[in-house]
A and B are shown apart, each in its own frame.
Chain A
Amino acid sequence: MDEFLLRAAAAGVGIAAISGALGCFLVWRRMAFFGDTLSHSALLGVAAGIFLNVGAPIAALALCLGVAALYARLERHATLASDTLLAVIAHGTLAAGVIAVSILAPRGAGLEAWLFGDLLAVGRAELQLIAAVGLVVAVTAAFCWRAWLAIAVDEDLARIEGVAVERARMLQLLCIAALIGVAMNVVGVLLVTALLIVPPAAARALSRSPEQMAALGALLGAVAVLGGLWLSLVVDTPTGPSVVAAACALFALCHAGAALRRR
């Protein structure tokens, strides 16, 4: 097999597996749209990265955190519903990001790759970064699992029982932002939350415990990446959207299967 293909598969499977587990918390806490907002704002981070000459993932991570802090602040004082606020931030940062990237990288060079991802172009350095970030996120998630689950069930009860709620939430946010920062290469900023949301949503149909759902989410995410890569090779479709399409097909399959079994 070609080396670029192996790299793509390794990067994609690694990211999808961690996203599939971590994304459960977004699904449980009804934060899917929050993830979208973070990922759309990542493009503005990419532009800042080009401008400041730092790595795109690092700049994207920084911007995700900034946006999360901004949102937390606005939400406390706003008269608008939180999903309206998220939409304003998501579209605002995406538009600003597209404008900034097209000014900084003339002739639209790379813009499409940032929007839709370019898994097949993942280089050795990027793969190393993905491995490093993936490892840190996975270890953090394992360490925080109990606290995160307690918070997902009920924050007040978690606090009474001695969970450091603020710290745990901050760590979770950092993990999600870091994951988005490195996952942009796989499916692009427009679709990156799909890896966080769709596999756990598919896994829900087959799970009886939180841990089962996380494990299945990770597995289904990995399968979606391999399926998308295969589709892209055989039919020559764009890789990122193919991965997301594969994940959505798995979602339909899992839920249809569960519905049939219930009858």
Chain B
Amino acid sequence: MTVLARLDAVTRRFGEVLAVDDVTLDIHSGSILGLLGPNGAGKSTVLTMLQGLRRPSSGTVSLFGGSPGDYRTRQKLGCTPQETALPPTLRVGEVIDFVGRHFEHPLTTAAVADEFGLGEVLKRQTGALSGGQKRRLSVALAFVGQPRLVLLDEPTTGLDVDARRTLWDAVRRQHDRGATVVVTSHYLEEIEALAERVVVMAHGRVIADDTVSAVINQVSLRQVRLVTEHPDRVSGLPGVVARETGDDGATTFYATDSDRLIEELVRSGIPFAGLTVRGATLEEAFLTLTGATDAAASSTQIAQKEMHR
């Protein structure tokens, strides 16, 4: 496995905002790497630095051993435009052909169209495409140049389930043909469907870097919220990893298995009221887990996060 791209102690500021905070990351050939995290976690900033669109405030970003800012380095890189950005008066075939001509060994326009289900609309202007077709064209453009590394930023956000699966299938086929893919998403489902390795980002930092199954086990937390006089006793029940006390007197407990927790709660006879259960968001789950060894610390983290909102 060779390293295709590397971020070494990379920090990127936008004025006062710290978008990426001391991130070190290797992207190895042959895998699909999922970059998971809530909006504003710094995923897109990492991608734009790999694309050469932005420079890090400190640290180094290298692509194929060179600088992403040099256009020759990007010969083996594939990126997607936002689907709203496609030039509306150009035909689908013209756009694919135009992009292909930047690369030494492009796929034929017909092959690209076939692979991404665009054969029917090659002659159509991109402004006349449906949302799903535009998205497929945008993703297809990343593969036209037969790149070694492909960066996909939120490739299926806003698509319906069928369109999403079609696109995932196409991406997986391209990966099987040898492309290394980095895909950002804030959907765990998308990462689960595509990726082998997951890097989770929150607040500009990498907070987990593991296999998909390991991360899924970590993040499938549930929130159990209730009012009780004895929060410490509830915390002692099996499966509780963290807790957070709200202003209204209710306490939120984060548990790996909420059903089991409630069974145990009822059996223990601890008095409680106002029980609600819901899934924790990825961000909540991760912020909780990073401080799971110390429930109090994790509560502070969550409180701080709430204050930032």
Whether both chains belong to one complex is answered with no
B binding-site residues for A, Cβ under 8 Å: none
A binding-site residues for B, Cβ under 8 Å: none
